[in-house]
Structure 1
């Protein structure tokens, strides 16, 4: 399993595989911002929009690939644009294909994004995830702290309103 950070050109190259991953995790019920059924064209258009953010330095995207080269996971780190928030970042769209689950890939992707955030001088990360989802166990076991729950925050892929849990993690202060 290889994990690679994508620049804008590589993000374009991987858009098809990332779209396939996105449609698969939504079909499996992951609440990542889309309703089911999610069409390939919509998923591809969404990933192609991310290329602009990657090129502008607003988003870092990592992709995990199996031995066969197929995309099995991804995670992104969003960099804030406001001067008063450059010390923090947001973990977004951590996704692992059902075939890659249970092998530590989610933790590896999360650690990769955390390490990059620390290297960039970020001292605080945050994210949101569906309350009582499998992802919550990952975040808690990786040292994240739940800040609270917002009821009826987002619709699940099936269209049912679900609560979201907000998490944060303090990163080590950069050494000088």
Structure 2
């Protein structure tokens, strides 16, 4: 059964906790969302709070996918540019699908829903995101229409002696 996506859902305690649980589970499954396992909810909470503040200030929008049971199963944050020369594109970050739902096409569905959401943002013509090298993520994003436009070798230090490339991807909206 497909996920049900909502852009800018009402921020309830249940939604906040659902996003926090998703972020924790994705991180502990090895997902490239800013943390290295093992991680607990309280380590992620401050980063989620930063996202929530940006949402309250109107700088960031939240896209949430719920599964058939109503649980938070996927998210992406759309961060609007505030620089006057860059307002024609936005950043997509913290792209997550719960491990129990991976391999079902929900990642593609999330990326399509994110592109649709970006099209609702006045003047936005493109989406940029970054991904961690070494996991094949750039191939997934390329299959969703993104093109690699930059790479910083070794910019992400996952662990001592384990540096990964920071890869910049771009989707032009049309």
**Given the alignment of the two structures, is residue 105 of structure 1 paired with residue 106 of structure 2, yes or no?**
yes
Alignment length, in residue pairs?
Answer: 170
Give the number of the structure with larger relative contact order, counting CA–CA contacts within 8 Å between residues 6 or more apart. 1
Q: Which residue of 2 aligns with 1:50?
A: 51
Output the CA distance in 1 between the equivalents of 2:5 and 2:79: 18
- Which residue number corresponds to residue 114 of structure 1? 115
Q: Give CA-to-partner distance per residue, 1:102-144, whole Å, 9 cap, x none.
A: 1221111111121122232211221111124243222111111
Q: For structure 2, which runs of at least 5 residues remain unmatched after alignment?
A: none
Query: Residues 24 and 39 of structure 2 are in contact (CA less than 8 Å); yes or no, is this contact kept in structure 1?
Result: yes
Alignment of 1:16-165 (within 5 A): 16-120=17-121, 121-156=123-158, 160-165=162-167
Structure 1 residues 84-93 or 64-73, which shifts more? 64-73
Given that 1:16 and 1:44 are in contact with CA atoms closer than 8 Å, whether structure 2 keeps it comes out as no
Distance 1:88 1:11, change over 3 A: farther
Higher share in helix: 1
Give the superposed CA RMSD.
1.8
3-state SS of 1:84 partner = coil
| CA displacement, residues 85-110 of structure 1 (integer Å, 9 cap, x when unaligned) | 11011111111111111122111111
| Cα separation, 1, equivalents of 2:135 and 2:5 | 24
SS of 1:127's partner is strand
TM-score (norm 2): 0.88
Structure 1 segments unaligned to the other structure (5+ residues): none
